């Protein structure tokens, strides 16, 4: 009876040691992830409102605007990455908007023309953070997403920065990090020209034609271009 109890205890201890060793070898190393980058976008849009009776343009809006964004954010952890408090995000949208009566100087605008339609202005509006940067490391894949930004609702500029596309997926097996000595780093370039980039699209067509309405129709010629570069730095802790 006593011998059987001792054998059972010994078997339990052996299993505990084996389980602990396996858990240690499979543990996800602790890392610090730094994601820095910059993005530049251009937005060009010419909208025209055309009378159905004469097929002549009577109102036009021309927008030429640029977006600029830079960021440097960090995360730390293992299986779960937490954002570090320190980080920087800077950006703005700038450019021009012109509203006129097409190529002719209108002596009298149509009665349904918005008040103060004829104008020409310059804009320079800061970008604000709508959603903080994120990062995750699961199943050997590291994902990073830059801060998602926007202009304020009362901003003059109207270009969309498309910052939700500034992201990347990187193959990063935990075994490759476990081989590094503490303090060692891996640097990976990401951005427009890199295959590790995620949902990014360089060119977006924003062209549309509206259905005819109340004697006129509207259409536009629109182009939206975005380019970005970035670096992801993984440091073994």
pLDDT in tens, 70-109: 999 999 999 899 999 878 999 999 999 999 988 766 556 7
Asked whether the predicted pLDDT for residue 121 surpasses 70, the reply is: yes
Q: What is the mean pLDDT of residues 55-78?
A: 95
Asked whether the predicted pLDDT for residue 123 surpasses 90, the reply is: yes
- Higher model confidence: residue 85 or residue 233? 233
Grade residue 233 by pLDDT with cuts at 50, 70 and 90: very high
62: tokens are 């021309």
Which of 76, 47, 89 lies closest to 223 in space, CA to CA?
Answer: 47
- For residue 108, give the 3-state DSSP assignment: coil
| Positive or negative torsion for Cα 78, 165, 231, 124 | negative
Q: Which of 15-24, 168-177, 202-211 has the lowest mean pLDDT?
A: 15-24
What digits encode the pLDDT tens for the residues 130-189? 999 999 999 999 999 999 999 999 999 999 999 999 999 999 999 999 999 999 999 999
Distance CA 25, CA 167 (A): 31
How far is CA 6 from each of CA 9, 17, 125, rounded to the nearest angstrom? Answer: 5, 17, 76
* pLDDT for 218: 85
Asked whether the predicted pLDDT for residue 205 surpasses 70, the reply is: yes
Q: What is the mean pLDDT of residues 50-64?
A: 89
How far is CA 89 from each of CA 32, 154, 234, rounded to the nearest angstrom? Answer: 19, 21, 20
Distance CA 214, CA 52 (A): 9
Distance CA 215, CA 66 (A): 34
Asked whether the predicted pLDDT for residue 127 surpasses 50, the reply is: yes
- Through-space distance between the first and last CA atoms of the chain, rounded to whole angstroms: 50
Structure-token match 């596309």, residue found: 165
* pLDDT for 46: 94
Asked whether the predicted pLDDT for residue 208 surpasses 80, the reply is: no
| Positive or negative torsion for Cα 109, 113, 116, 119 | negative
Q: Work out the mean pLDDT of the chain and round it to a whole number.
A: 85
Asked whether the predicted pLDDT for residue 196 surpasses 70, the reply is: no
Distance CA 68, CA 38 (A): 7
Asked whether the predicted pLDDT for residue 11 surpasses 80, the reply is: no
């Amino acid at each position: 009876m006593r011998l059987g109890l001792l054998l059972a205890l010994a078997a339990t201890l052996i299993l505990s040691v084996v389980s602990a060793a396996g858990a240690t070898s499979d543990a996800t190393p602790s890392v610090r992830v730094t994601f820095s980058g910059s993005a530049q976008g251009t937005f060009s849009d010419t909208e025209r409102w055309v009378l159905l009776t004469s097929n002549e343009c009577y109102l036009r809006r021309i927008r030429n605007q640029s977006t600029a964004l830079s960021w440097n954010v960090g995360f730390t952890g293992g299986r779960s990455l937490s954002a570090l408090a320190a980080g920087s995000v800077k950006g703005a949208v700038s450019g021009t908007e012109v509203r006129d009566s097409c190529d002719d100087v209108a002596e009298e605008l149509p009665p349904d023309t918005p008040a103060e339609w004829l104008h020409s202005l310059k804009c320079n509006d800061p970008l604000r953070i709508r959603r903080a940067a994120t990062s995750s490391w699961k199943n050997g894949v590291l994902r990073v997403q830059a801060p998602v930004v926007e202009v304020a609702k009362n901003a003059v500029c109207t270009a969309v920065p498309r910052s939700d596309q500034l992201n990347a997926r990187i193959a990063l097996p935990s075994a490759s990090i476990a081989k590094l000595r503490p303090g060692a780093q891996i640097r990976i370039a990401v951005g427009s020209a890199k295959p590790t980039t995620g949902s990014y699209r360089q060119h977006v067509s924003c062209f549309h034609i509206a259905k005819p309405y109340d004697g006129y129709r509207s259409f536009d010629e629109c182009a939206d271009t975005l380019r970005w570069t970035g670096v992801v730095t993984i440091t073994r802790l």
